[in-house]
Amino acid sequence: GDSVTQMEGPVTLSEEAFLTINCTYTATGYPSLFWYVQYPGEGLQLLLKATKADDKGSNKGFEATYRKETTSFHLEKGSVQVSDSAVYFCALRSGGSNYKLTFGKGTLLTVNP
Amino acid sequence: GAVVSQHPSRVICKSGTSVKIECRSLDFQATTMFWYRQFPKQSLMLMATSNEGSKATYEQGVEKDKFLINHASLTLSTLTVTSAHPEDSSFYICSAREGLGQGVGAAGANVLTFGAGSRLTVL
């Protein structure tokens, strides 16, 4: 079945540091890939997505590229801010799955001033 | 943007009692809502998919008589944990998908909006 494996946290960085959160997946067919972010006390929000190989999703300075050859969708940001502190979830949706998402375990990111 | 309200955010109950969690779409009509469960340091696991006006579709291994889901209107779905036990303690999260024909176009219909979650503790 479908599965998502993402980097275990927590991750603690200083402001303006470079961020990478690794995510790999297994799925049948050609899934769509997502990163969701959950700020303290709030629901999950879609951060970015990619629907086919070599697509790059980007939003708020975050980027992730759909790599079919390595089945990966790593999240990166060149310079993190304190306001980026949150839990980040990698997720996939298989084709024809009627919007059912398979999530990774989540990675807690803390950015210190 | 679309907002999903989930209530209560935290609930503590005694073993054997039933607990109801509500999921409301505040500014859109949700034809489909999803219920997830998250154990500490684990992934969100899909429990069931509910469509307005029809029976919920449960994932394998989820007891439908234990976790009652009702989606009686286009803006409200409820999850009732019946005869709760300590092993039911978990974080429950709902998400809602905007319905087609609501003026949001095809792109809006592909968006899932999540609630903030409800933490259930069964003593």
Which of B43, B113, B115 is facing A104, going by the closest CB pair?
B43
Question: What does DSSP say about strands A11-14 and A107-112: parallel, antiparallel, or unpaired?
Answer: parallel
Q: How many CB pairs under 8 A join A and B?
A: 44
Per-residue pLDDT, B110: 61
- Rounded CA separation A7/A22 (Å): 5
CB contact under 8 A, A43 and B113: yes
First to last CA, chain B: 37
Distance CA B20, CA B118 (A): 10
- A4 at interface of B, judged by CB pairs closer than 8 A: yes
Decide if pLDDT at A97 tops 90: no
Minimum-distance CB partner of A103 among B44, B49, B117: B44
Mind listing the pLDDT tens digit for each residue in A59-80? 999 999 999 999 999 999 999 9
Please report where in the chains the tokens 């469960």 appear, as a residue: B37
pLDDT, tens digit (0-9, with 9 covering 90-100), for A1-20: 889 999 888 999 999 999 99
| Per-residue pLDDT, B55 | 87
- Report the alpha-carbon distance of residue A48 to residue A42 in Å, rounded: 17
Contacts of A4 in chain B (CB under 8 A): 43
Range with lowest mean pLDDT among A34-43, A89-98, B75-84, B96-105: B96-105
Shortest distance, CA A89 to any CA of chain B (angstroms):
9
Mean pLDDT across A30-48: 90
- Residue segments in chain B with a per-residue pLDDT below the cut of 50: 101-109
Determine the pLDDT at residue B100. 54
